[in-house]
Structure 1
C-alpha cells in the first residue's frame, strides 16, 4: 500500500485564524454508556493500513460502549485549508498532521495542549528527535505517530548485468556503480529530478549543517553555509547521472510510475514508491541507505512522518484522548512498524523488518527534520524557494550569489507575520 509520506512532509500549508476554545465533552450517559457520541478521526490517504483502522475502531467502540468512531480518509492536495476550516468549526476530533505542519496548526490555537497527558499516552518512551515536531514553546500539541525516510531503491537485474555484485558502502563506490550502469547502457543509472529537496536537506544534515538557522533572535536561510554547498555538490554529482528534468520534483512525473518500467537503475524514494510485486518481482528490487563519504555512517536523511493530534474545539475531548491512547499503543504502533514504517519508540523497531524498513532504519540514525516553526510551511509552499534555488544552480547559476538571493527569500518567509 502506498505510504504517501512524500506529501506528508512536502505539502505543508500555512494555517491561520483557528479559534482556541474547547469543551470537555465526551462523558457517559446515566446508564454508563456513551450512546449518541461519535468521534471523527481524519487520516491521510496512504497512511494507516486497513487492518490498523479496523482494529482501532473495534477496540475504541469496545472500550467506550455506545460510542462510534468515524474514520475519514483525506487527500493531501489542499488539506491545509480543509484542516483549518475543520479545526475552527470543531468538526474533527482527532487528526493526522504531517510533522512539518504541526507547529503551524498549534500556533493558531487549533490543537489541544496534551502536555499533562503525555505520560499516559506513552510519551516517556518517545525519542526526542521523533517528538520534536509535536512540541511548540515547550508544550505537547500532538503525539509522534510514524516516520520514514528515503533510501536508494535499485533494480537488481540491471545492477547484475552491469557487473555489480553488492550495494555500495561509500559515496565513491556509489558513483563507481553508477558509472558501470551507464557504461552498460542504462540511460538513467539513477533517476533524480532537480527539485528533490528532501534528499538535499538530508545531505545538508549529514554534513552537520542546517537549511535555516537562528541569527540575532530570528530565523534566516542558510544555503550560503559551507555545509549546504558541500551537500549540493554531492546532490549535483548524483543528479548528473540522471535524465530527469532539473526543474521538476519527484512527483512530476511521479517517479514511482517510472521505476517499474525496468529501465531505471535506481532512485531515491520512500517505501510506497517501490514497485508492487505485480509490477516488478520483489526479489528484483533492492534497498540500501544513501552511502556516506565513509563506510561507517550513511548520508543524512530527511526524517518525515506524521503526528496525531486532538482538535482544541473537539466536542468529545475525553473520548478523543481515549482514542489517541489506543492508536498510540504498542499494539497499533507495532502494526505500523510491521507495515514497513518506523514506530514512535525504539523498542518496536525490530518489527520494522521489511527490506525497505531495514534500510530506512540504518539511515534514520542520521535523520533530521525541518525547523519546528509555524512559518516553515511558507518555505515549502509555492513558489518554494529551495526548489527554485536547486534548479537555478543545476542549470548553471553561480552557487554563492544564488544562495544569497534565495536565503533572503527564505528569511523573509520565515519571519512573515501570520
Structure 2
C-alpha cells in the first residue's frame, strides 16, 4: 500500500468532512483541557491504544520502534497500535460505540463542529497556534482538538533526467510553459509526458491542494465559503483544473486513462517512461525509494511547484495531513497527550518521512531543499472556514476532494464526454452558487 493512505489523508481529507451523527456518544464532552504531560515523565502512566491508517508501519515494526523510543522517556506508559486498512469506514463505526482507542487521527467523516463530542481539547488556539502549524483546522470555539501528524506541499513529482533530455532545465513559470515542457518531453524522448492516475482516482484529488499556491493566498480555501463561482475566469480552481484539462486535450497524458495503475506509475516515473505526476511532497521519498530499489538514480526524482508565479516567485501552500487527537472517552488522557506531544516534537517522524513538521520552528525537510534553495514562498493555508466550504461542496454534490468531477473533466478533455470546458465550468459554478445560498453561508 505504501503511502497511498497518507496521500488520501493529506489531500483528500484536507477538507472533506461528511457528517457523522452524534452517535449518542458525546457524554457531555471533556471537562477542561487535556494538559501537556507533567515535567517528570515518570509521573505519567497507563496503557494507551493508538489507531493508525499506516498499516505498513505497524507491519514492518516501525511504530513499535517509535514506542520503544517513547518508553525511554515515559517508561510507565504502555503503547499499542491498531493498524486499520479501511480507516475511515472502520473508525466511524467504532466511534458509535465509544471504542475508538486513546489516540487517533480525526476521521474526515466527523463534522468539525462535532469535535467536542468525540475528542478532548488539547489547549487554546492562542496557545497552540504559536507552536504548531494548521491549528485552525481543528479549532472549535477557541479550543484546538487535534495536532497535525505533519504537513505537505504540493507540486509535480518529475524525472529530472528525462526533462533535461527534452531540453527543459528550468521550472516552467506559467501553465503554457508547463505544457510546452510536456510537449518537448513527448517529442524528444518518446515518454508519456504526464500520468493522470485516472483509474485509482485519488491522485486526481491532489490537484485541489494547489488552491492557494496559484495566487499565493493563505485565505484561498476560506474564500470558497459563499456563492463565489469558484471556477470563474481568473480564479485559482479555473487555473488548476484548466491546466489538467489542457494536458489531456493536447494529448500529453497516457493514451488510455482507464488503464492507469498507481503502484506501476512509481516505477514508470523512476524509469523515465513518464515525465511527471501531480502529488504531495510526501511522495518524493517513495519515488526515490523505488528508483533506488530498481538500481536507478534517486537524485533524478525532482519536485517542481505549480507553474504560476506571484511577484516573481513560486508559492507553495502547506496543508495538513491527518490530525492526532485524544478520545474524549480515554481513561489515560495525560498519557495519550504525552504520546502526541512526543511524536510531534521528538520522534523524528516528519524528518524521516520527508514531510513538513507540524512544529513551526522546525526546518523544511530535505525533500523540499530545491524549493528552499529557489526561494519558493511557503505558507500555511488557513482552514478557518473549512466546515462551511465542506457544507457547500456536499450540497452541490461536486466533490472538491473526491475524484469524480476531475475524472469527468478528463473524459470531457479527451472526448469521452460531451460538452466544452466552458460548459463544464459554468455547470460547476451554478451548482456551487446555488448550494451556497441553500446552506446559508
- What CA deviation, in whole Å up to 9, does each residue of 1:252-308 have, x standing for no partner? 676335423431122222343524211332133222223314682226557241211
Find the aligned partners of 1:214 and 1:382 in 2 and give their Cα distance. Answer: 15
Find the aligned partners of 2:119 and 2:433 in 1 and give their Cα distance. Answer: 26
- The counterpart of 1:20, out of the listed 16, 26, 42, is 26
- What CA deviation, in whole Å up to 9, does each residue of 1:139-187 have, x standing for no partner? 3111122011232222233223223344445544433322221221424
Per-residue deviation at 1:112?
1.7
Q: Secondary structure at the match of 1:163?
A: coil
Find the aligned partners of 2:178 and 2:376 in 1 and give their Cα distance. Answer: 16
- The residue correspondences of 1:162-177 to structure 2 (distance < 5 A) are 162-177=166-181
Per-residue deviation at 1:137?
3.9
The residue that corresponds to 1:344 in the other structure is: 358
- The counterpart of 1:390, out of the listed 392, 409, 425, is 409
- The residue correspondences of 1:1-150 to structure 2 (distance < 5 A) are 2-4=2-4, 5-8=6-9, 9-10=11-12, 12=16, 14=18, 15-18=20-23, 19-21=25-27, 37-45=46-54, 53-54=63-64, 56-75=66-85, 78-88=86-96, 89-97=98-106, 103-104=111-112, 106-107=114-115, 109-116=117-124, 119=127, 123-127=129-133, 130-150=134-154
Q: Secondary structure at the match of 2:277?
A: strand
The residue that corresponds to 1:402 in the other structure is: 424
Structure 1's 408 and 291: CA in aligned 2 closer, same or farther, altered over 3 A? closer
Q: Secondary structure at the match of 2:321?
A: strand
Find the aligned partners of 2:145 and 2:267 in 1 and give their Cα distance. Answer: 36
Per-residue deviation at 1:341?
0.5
The 8 Å contact of residues 90 and 314 in structure 1, kept in 2 or not, is answered as: no
Per-residue deviation at 1:200?
4.7
The 8 Å contact of residues 192 and 267 in structure 1, kept in 2 or not, is answered as: yes
The 8 Å contact of residues 40 and 93 in structure 1, kept in 2 or not, is answered as: yes
Find the aligned partners of 1:192 and 1:388 in 2 and give their Cα distance. Answer: 9
The residue that corresponds to 1:222 in the other structure is: 230
- What CA deviation, in whole Å up to 9, does each residue of 1:38-75 have, x standing for no partner? 20011222797979734642354455544310022222
Find the aligned partners of 1:220 and 1:358 in 2 and give their Cα distance. Answer: 35
Per-residue deviation at 1:225?
5.8
Structure 1's 101 and 345: CA in aligned 2 closer, same or farther, altered over 3 A? farther
Q: CA RMSD in A?
A: 4.3
The residue that corresponds to 1:182 in the other structure is: 186
Q: Secondary structure at the match of 1:403?
A: helix
The residue that corresponds to 1:372 in the other structure is: 386
Per-residue deviation at 1:249?
11
Q: Secondary structure at the match of 2:274?
A: coil
- What CA deviation, in whole Å up to 9, does each residue of 1:319-340 have, x standing for no partner? 21222222222x22x4413431
Find the aligned partners of 1:212 and 1:366 in 2 and give their Cα distance. Answer: 16
Structure 1's 285 and 86: CA in aligned 2 closer, same or farther, altered over 3 A? same
Structure 1's 284 and 257: CA in aligned 2 closer, same or farther, altered over 3 A? closer
Find the aligned partners of 2:232 and 2:222 in 1 and give their Cα distance. Answer: 9
Instruction: Name whichever of 61-70 and 359-368 sits farther off.
Output: 359-368
Structure 1's 360 and 409: CA in aligned 2 closer, same or farther, altered over 3 A? farther
Per-residue deviation at 1:135?
1.5
Q: Secondary structure at the match of 1:244?
A: coil
Q: Secondary structure at the match of 1:181?
A: helix
Per-residue deviation at 1:309?
0.6
**Structure 1, unpaired ranges of 5+:** none
Instruction: Name whichever of 232-241 and 250-259 sits farther off.
Output: 250-259
The 8 Å contact of residues 171 and 307 in structure 2, kept in 1 or not, is answered as: no
Structure 1's 214 and 248: CA in aligned 2 closer, same or farther, altered over 3 A? farther
The 8 Å contact of residues 155 and 305 in structure 2, kept in 1 or not, is answered as: yes
Per-residue deviation at 1:310?
0.7
- The residue correspondences of 1:288-299 to structure 2 (distance < 5 A) are 288-293=304-309, 296-298=312-314
Structure 1's 61 and 52: CA in aligned 2 closer, same or farther, altered over 3 A? same
Find the aligned partners of 2:372 and 2:277 in 1 and give their Cα distance. Answer: 14
